[in-house]
Every structure is written in structure tokens, then in C-alpha cells.
Amino acid sequence: MKSKFSFCNKIIFLLGFYFLLLTTATNFLRAQPTNSDSTNSVSEAPAVIPVLQIKADQVVAEVSPTLYGLMTEDINFALEGGLYAELIRNRTFKANPTNAVYWSAVGNGAISVDASTPLNDALNVSLKLDASLASKDSPAGFMNAGFWGIPVHPNSKYCVSFYAKSVGRFSGALTVKLQSVDGKTVYSSAEISGLSGEWKKFEFSLFTKDVAPSKDNLFVITADAPGTIWFQQVSLFPPTYKNRPNGTRPDLMELMAGMHPSFLRFPGGDFLEGHQLDHRFDWKKTIGDISQRPGHMNDAWGYWTTDGFGLLEFLEWCEDLNMQPVLALYAGYSKNPKVIQPGADLQPYVQDALDEIEYVTGDASTKWGAQRIQDGHPTPFTLSYVEIGNEDFFDKSGSYNGRFAQFYDAIKAKYPQLQIISTVGNDHPESLRVHSRTPDLVDEHFYKTEEQMEAQSHLYDNRPRTGPKVFVGEWATRVGSPTPNMAGALGDAAWMCCMERNSDLVLLSSYAPLFVNVSDLAKGGSMQWRSDLLGYDALTSYGSPSYYAQAMFSSNHGDHVLVTDSLNVPTYTTRSGRQVPSLFFDATRDSRSGTIFLKIVNRLASPQSVHVKITGANNVDSSAEAVVMSASSPDDTNSIQDPTKIVPATSNVDGLGADFTRAFPPYSITILKSKTN
């Protein structure tokens, strides 16, 4: 008995040894900064210099051309009160059924939400203005303060539109003004007449002069004669990106363009599903003339959406930034919990998804392609990826396996070229994953602290390449609020090294959330989720250090991942007392130009010297372009007040070549672009 037991032990030992050998060999090939030899825990520069070896003639993987993308949904006033350039809050008076929230009466006016005078079935209420006491000397009306202010920019054109009707013919005039909150400055105004007993759309422009930019302003409409007037869809648009009607905010589009994103995952996120079925993103109600869109309660994040930014607007966003859409399809699960079981009950939702794909990709001969053309976009969009639902690991009923299969079969039958993504990745238990079909990709989400991100910076190095590819559809180092600080950017950079090094497996990745309106950070205000990539108020915007880290990574990589290896990679003691690596890296090479992109992240509070050896490349230039972002503290950050405190700087550095030692600054992300033959 005793000897049999020790025989078993020997087998286990041998198996363990074999496994160790295998892991070490794989690690070597997959080029991770290993921890195994990192005995020194440091908060100062390590005594032993770490060595990075780059084997420029050994390619371990192709860099996925779609590795860096964007993910979006309406959270943190990302669309309404964010990217969607509409400046009027609650323009359709539907945010509250009984109260004209975000509107106030002016002068002797009295306002109310009136369900008896709808514009149409979609906009089935209106704002009733009782201006019975109005006169030229004492106008009566109403006003809106926008989404925490109405921005006024110099020399700009503002497009105003609204529907209005009166009791019989209204003999007076309406005055429409863009003015400061104290009323002392009127930036622009217009007088409108011609109201009658029928609904009529009024459209005109307001122009500002050479004024200082400001946001504490109001949009005001007043009547100068007694009467009762109803209004619907009161809208004010500033200049938009590429001058698209019903378009987007130029400053935010320009920030995103700086990231060179390859795709956009939309429309969520929880926003896709809603907490209740009726509050999902019901795409057919988000297309066509905006006056025919009913809007819906965004119950996932607690505010009304007009759906003025609907399916076609998401697609035009893709077009404007040269991104491909990654279309998330509602898959019969809302978090309430509401599960539509696979089978006949689910079929209408499957059909809805097929129709949606047709709207995106179809030509004039198809019903929904023709609808898109009628909506103003003749050219079909190119679509390669669709995702079935969102985070269906929350559905503990086990229905996802069957729901996925039903969508998968219907989509593959009609669109065999589409890659179909499951929302349950290998980061969730086997029992929740899809087994009924083999997804083309699985979506894995990571919201982590800095040390957790750094600790998992080898996560994919050893994952078998036999299963589905990975879409990291939501990830963020959640440090800093409302937007991440330098610690967040360092965690992100460590994680991006991992994803880039493994981009034969990780085909797509997108940080989330993308946007936050920082105007009101109190509970119930403009932020529902902290640590968001881009911050803004009504007037200006900024990128977080995490934004700049991502822009650095996505703008600077080759098409080949090179084999790398490391020695003496030190660890540091995190705030919670944990030991995690303090140095992260990966190397890619552009196969056409030969340029090697070496990314090095130093998490230490002190400069860290690193010995870099490049083999397998001819004539590595001794000088290179270096893009460096560093901070004096991990808590350093950007904000509306100080938008560019932490930004990358580009310079030429010498003393490099195929074998060099260089000190990397404290809390830094560096990209060295070495030319080779």
C-alpha cells in the first residue's frame, strides 16, 4: 500500500514536471515577461537590470487589423447630452408623462405636458403653453437649460426647429432666443409668425457673433400676444461633425479619430437589452424621420432617450470615422429578468435581427435595404461581425445555449459570411458558455483595478488556440473618476501589451465605457459609471491618460508580433500589498518597412533601466522615434480644467540599436520605433 502510494506520487511529480517544462517552453515562445525569476520586490529601481530580448526574425502571430476599436451605448449621457449634438434636453416632452421636466415657464406663461394634443402616434404628447396673459411688454413662454448648459461658440450657426400649433390663428409672434442665464446677453434671436390651428414645422437658423465661448445659457421661446400654443420636438443643433444633419459633436469625433479605431460595437451594453423588454433598443423605432421616433426610457441607466441617435446614426458614425460596425443584436434577454425562451416565442426577435442585418447590408431589392435608402443612405454598410445579446452570463436560467443556437442558425443560413459572437467567454463557468454551436468569437469583459490588470497581463499567453477567437468587448482599468488617472493608463497599457502580444487570438478589443458627461457627478447626475475614457461638459472635452495610452498603442504597431523573452522582470508592492510585475512589454514589426515597435511600461516610482537585445534584424538604427507618456504620480490625471496634464510626447532618441540599456521614466509608457533593414 505504501509503495503503491509513493508510485502514484512519482507519476504526479513527473506529470507536474512535464507540465512545467511545457509551460516554460510555451512562455518562451509566446514572449511574456515571466515572473518566475523575479525574486526582487521593489518600489525603487531594481538592483539587477531586466533584460528584454526581441527576436526580430521570429514571428509568433499576425497583429489583428481590428484589434483596436470602440464600444458605445447610452450611459453617462454618452449620446443624449453627449455625442448626439442635440442641445435641448427633453425635446419631445416625453421624459416624464405628467411634468415638463427640464423646461420652465418664462414671464406669465404656464406650461404643462398635454396628452390630448399629440403631434402623431410616436410623439403622442405636446407642451401646452398658456400665454393668455402675454403682451409685447410682458411676453410669456418657456425655456430649456440643455444638458447642464447650452454651449455658445463664436461665429456659429445654430439650427432651430419645432412643430407648433395654436388655438385658431395666432396673431402674435414668437421670439426665439439664445441668451445667457441672467438674461443680460442675447447671443442671437429670431421672430417667428404664421402659427395656425394645424401642426406646422418651423425651421430657421440663429447666428452668433464674435463672442467668448460659454455654456451657462438658455434657449427661450416667448409669445408676445395672448393665446394657447402647443409645441413638439423643439430642437437646437450647433455645427456638427462633417455638417451632418442630426449629427455628432465635432470635438468628440476628433478625439476618437485620434485613436484610429477600426470598429464600433453598438448599441450596448445594457442599453441594448434594457432592464425591461419594453425598454430595449428596439431598432425599428429608431430609424426614419426623427419626428416618427417615439423614444424610450433608458432604464438601464436611468434617463430618457429620444432615439434621435438611432441605428442609422450609429452606422454614420462608423462611416465618418472609417470603422466597421460590430452589431449587437437583441437576443431575447432583458435584465429584469425577462427571458424569451428559445422556440416560437423567440422567433419574432430572430426575425427582427435578420431585418436589422438587412437594413445595414441590403440593397434596394430588399425590404429593409430599401428602407435604409429611403432614410437617406443609398450605400449598404459592410458588416462582418454580429453579437448575440450582451453579457448573457447574467441569464442564470440557462436559456442562452438555445437562444444562441436559434439566432446562429438563422443568421448563418442567410448570411454565412458573418462572424457570430457569443457574449459568454472563457472567463465564465463552462455551464454558462455556449455548447449548442461553436461561436466564431466569444466576448470577454474585464473591469479591474490596476493591480488586477497588471497581474493578468499574461492571461492569454497560454490559452489554447483551438477554441473560438476572443473579442474583449469591454475592458477598463477602473482607477480614477470620472475618468481614469495615470494608474489606470498604466494598468491599461499592461493589458494592451497582453492583447497585442496575443492578437492572433484576441481579434478585437474595445474599452468601456467610452464617454462621460462630467457636468454633475453627484448621485442621479450625469455619471452612472466611473472611469470612462473621454470626459466632457456642454462646452469642452478631454481625453483621459487611458485615452492617450490607447491612442499610442493603436497608432503605433506593426503587422507581425515578434517573439520576445525576458529576464529579471521585477515586481512591485501594490497598495494592497500584493506583488505584481512592474515592467510590461511587447514588440511588433511592420513587415513592409522593417520598423520594430517596442512598447515598454514602467510601473515603478523610479526610472527603470532595461537592457534590450534585438536579434535577427539587420542594421537596427541607433536612433529612433520615441513616444513617451509619463507622470510624477499614478494619481495624476486630466480633467475639464486641466485637459492635457498627461499627454504623450514624441522625440528622437539616440544610443539605441540592437543592444542597448536605457532608463525608462517613472510611471511611464514608451514606444520606441526602431528602423531596421
Identify which of residues 390 and 674 has a Cβ nearer to ligand AHR in the complex.
390
> Is residue 114 classed as helix, strand or coil in its secondary structure?
strand
Strand order from edge to edge, sheet including 126-130: 110-114, 126-130, 228-237, 157-166, 200-207
Burial label, 405 (beta-carbon count in 10 A; 0-12, 13-18, 19+): middle
Select the residue interacting with ligand AHR from 80, 114, 270, 443 (CB under 6 A).
270
Residue 391 makes contact with ligand AHR by CB under 6 A: yes
The nearest distance, CB 257 to ligand AHR, in angstroms, is 22
| Alpha carbon distance 46, 570 (integer Å) | 7
| Amino acid present at 18 | Y
Select the residue interacting with ligand AHR from 33, 149, 268, 570 (CB under 6 A).
268
Pair 306, 237: CB distance under 8 Å: no
| Alpha carbon distance 381, 351 (integer Å) | 19
- Residue range at the interface with ligand AHR (CB under 6 A); choices 85-93, 95-103, 264-272, 630-638: 264-272
Identify which of residues 224 and 273 has a Cβ nearer to ligand AHR in the complex.
273
Identify which of residues 219 and 301 has a Cβ nearer to ligand AHR in the complex.
301
The nearest distance, CB 22 to ligand AHR, in angstroms, is 35
Residue 70 makes contact with ligand AHR by CB under 6 A: no
DSSP 8-state class, residue 17: H
Residue 627 makes contact with ligand AHR by CB under 6 A: no
Identify which of residues 78 and 178 has a Cβ nearer to ligand AHR in the complex.
78
Residue 73 makes contact with ligand AHR by CB under 6 A: yes
First to last CA, the chain: 66
The nearest distance, CB 514 to ligand AHR, in angstroms, is 9
Q: How many residues bind ligand AHR (CB under 6 A)?
A: 11
| Amino acid present at 192 | I
Window 497-536: contact mask with ligand AHR (x via CB under 6 A): ---------------xx---------------x-------
Identify which of residues 305 and 390 has a Cβ nearer to ligand AHR in the complex.
390
- What's phi and psi for 440, nearest 5 deg? -70, -35
Select the residue interacting with ligand AHR from 324, 390, 582, 637 (CB under 6 A).
390
The nearest distance, CB 532 to ligand AHR, in angstroms, is 9
Q: CB nearest ligand AHR: which residue?
A: 269
The nearest distance, CB 270 to ligand AHR, in angstroms, is 4
> Is residue 442 classed as helix, strand or coil in its secondary structure?
strand
Place of cell 444633419: 245
What are residue 163's DSSP bridge partners?
A: 201, 232
Identify which of residues 493 and 512 has a Cβ nearer to ligand AHR in the complex.
512
| Alpha carbon distance 30, 25 (integer Å) | 9
Identify which of residues 391 and 500 has a Cβ nearer to ligand AHR in the complex.
391
> What are the cell numbers at 467?
477554441
Identify which of residues 27 and 510 has a Cβ nearer to ligand AHR in the complex.
510
| Alpha carbon distance 505, 446 (integer Å) | 16
Residue 360 to residues 193, 296, 357, 421, Cα–Cα distance (Å): 41, 22, 5, 17
| Alpha carbon distance 667, 455 (integer Å) | 17
Angle, nearest 10°, between helix axes 545-555 and 486-501? 30
The nearest distance, CB 300 to ligand AHR, in angstroms, is 7
Identify which of residues 444 and 537 has a Cβ nearer to ligand AHR in the complex.
444
Identify the CA nearest to 269 among candidates 68, 528, 485, 44: 528
Identify which of residues 433 and 599 has a Cβ nearer to ligand AHR in the complex.
433
- Residue range at the interface with ligand AHR (CB under 6 A); choices 7-15, 31-39, 86-94, 266-274: 266-274
| Amino acid present at 654 | D
Residue 389 makes contact with ligand AHR by CB under 6 A: no
Residue 303 makes contact with ligand AHR by CB under 6 A: no
Identify which of residues 73 and 440 has a Cβ nearer to ligand AHR in the complex.
73
Identify which of residues 52 and 441 has a Cβ nearer to ligand AHR in the complex.
441
Select the residue interacting with ligand AHR from 238, 269, 295, 634 (CB under 6 A).
269
- Residue range at the interface with ligand AHR (CB under 6 A); choices 268-276, 313-321, 368-376, 401-409: 268-276
- Work out the angle at residue 153's Cα, subtended by the Cα atoms of residues 152 and 156, and round it to the nearest 5 degrees: 110
Q: How many Cβ atoms are within 10 Å of 611's Cβ, its own excluded?
A: 15
Residues 457-496 that bind ligand AHR (CB under 6 A): 474
Q: Count Cα neighbours of 434 within 13 Å in the Cβ-side half-sphere.
A: 29
- Work out the angle at residue 102's Cα, subtended by the Cα atoms of residues 100 and 106, and round it to the nearest 5 degrees: 80
| Amino acid present at 361 | T
Place of cell 532618441: 653
Window 74-103: contact mask with ligand AHR (x via CB under 6 A): -x----------------------------
Residue 443 makes contact with ligand AHR by CB under 6 A: no
Residue 358 makes contact with ligand AHR by CB under 6 A: no
> What are the cell numbers at 222?
416667448
Per CB under 6 A, residues contacting ligand AHR are 73, 75, 268-270, 390-391, 474, 512-513, 529
